[in-house]
Amino acid sequence: MNTIPNNPIMKNSVLTPNQEVPSIEKTYSTEAFLALVHELGKEFEKRAAQHDQNDQFVDQNYVVLKRYRIFTALIPTQFGGLGQSHSDVANFLRTLAQYCGSTALALSMHQHLVGVNVWKHLNGKGGEAVLQRVAKEQIILVSTGARDWLDSNGEMRKVKGGYILNAYKAFASQSIIGDVFVTSAPYHDPEKGPVVLHFPVPASAEGVTVKDSWYTLGMRSTGSHGVEFKEVFVPESAVGLERPQGEPHMVYNLVLTVAMPLIMAVYTGIAEAAAQKALGTARARKQSATYLPQLIGEMNNLLVNARVMFQDMVRICNDFDFTPSFEGAHGTLSRKVMVTKSVIGTVEKAMEIVGGQGFFRAYGMERLFRDIQASHYHPLPEKEQQQFTGCYLLKDASSI
């Protein structure tokens, strides 16, 4: 495994962490914001295949996104952001994914961390400092919690003024270019027992190393490398949350409700791109199998189900006007799994419709097929979700 140094610069990269990019100082109406994504997406689409084939992070696209201040999209205008709604950003990501899934997915990981802080601000629970800094500096936030769930991984030991962190976190989208890692790790408290601490770590902190590990089936351009934290000092003042290890906690009810619609927006967009491509190919054929209309109907039903479930996830978040609850979390996770099954089914059906040409890279469908597989791995995978939801319903049968 190769190593990428702190504040990494990829080969031929045009963007480095904390780099200032001249921005376009303006805000957008909903219509203009959703129109902008087509303008940007058409440019990103030209580079998507090359990025994918070379396992190259979409750094050029990030330069453009910074120029248009898209990393501030969810931040209220009073803090210097674009002030877009959660639903608008979800649909921005869904549309962007039709052009470049990797760019959309990497961006969604930053946006959901910002979104959690927007909810906190709107509900009088802090978050303003993070929002102001992101708006002013356009720093990129990286979540390392993809595989942590309730237990988290790694270890912390208490020292004067804070803790020493040792952990390996995989996979962390945009870690190749991130400015701040939002992470967690277990700590055995002498009085409270096993707890999990949540805290940010600057990418420039001593002992932080991004590993050159992201060589995958799909989503190859998200820069989702593993991150090693070796003897990293975490000030006690940086710890924002302490929770019992292994137990459901209200913080997940917040994070899941905000994050999963933004993440699954990306896979809905990929499925839409595959369906559009397959339908366009089918219409252009002079001769086709007699069962082609049925295949198209099957693909349509799967896509409709994905869209309905995605939009219902957006509805549950309700543009940040919600109270975090276990009911909302398990409802969001159930819909996440249903979206996953439907988007994968949509792309599989699209491959069946186009036939053998879908097997060729030049056609473009096989990249969509590979990218859509990553939808499995976001919290929670199907069996874990069913277990989580089933346990919840056994305790509160009135919720079904």
Per-residue pLDDT reduced to its tens digit, 167-191 = 999 989 999 999 999 999 999 999 9
- 125 class by beta-carbon count within 10 Å (0-12 exposed, 13-18 middle, 19+ buried): exposed
Confidence of residue 395 (pLDDT cuts 50, 70, 90): confident
Query: How many whole angstroms separate alpha carbon 123 and alpha carbon 127?
Result: 10
Measured CA to CA, the distance from residue 346 to residue 296 in angstroms comes to 10
CB 128, CB 80: distance < 8 Å: no
Distance, in Å, from the CA atom of 344 to the CA atom of 342, rounded to the nearest integer, reads: 5
SS percent in the chain: helix, strand, coil, step 5: 55, 15, 30
Residue type, 50: Q
pLDDT of 18 > 70? The answer is no
Rounded average pLDDT over 30-54? 97
User: What pTM did the predictor assign?
Assistant: 0.94
Domains in the chain and their CATH numbers? 19-138 (1.10.540.10), 155-244 (2.40.110.10), 250-399 (1.20.140.10)
* Interatomic CA distance for residues 148 and 184, integer angstroms: 8
pLDDT over threshold 60, residue 397: no
Rg (CA), the chain: 21
Q: Which stretches of the chain are DSSP H helices?
A: 30-53, 59-67, 86-97, 101-122, 128-137, 250-284, 292-317, 326-354, 365-372, 382-395
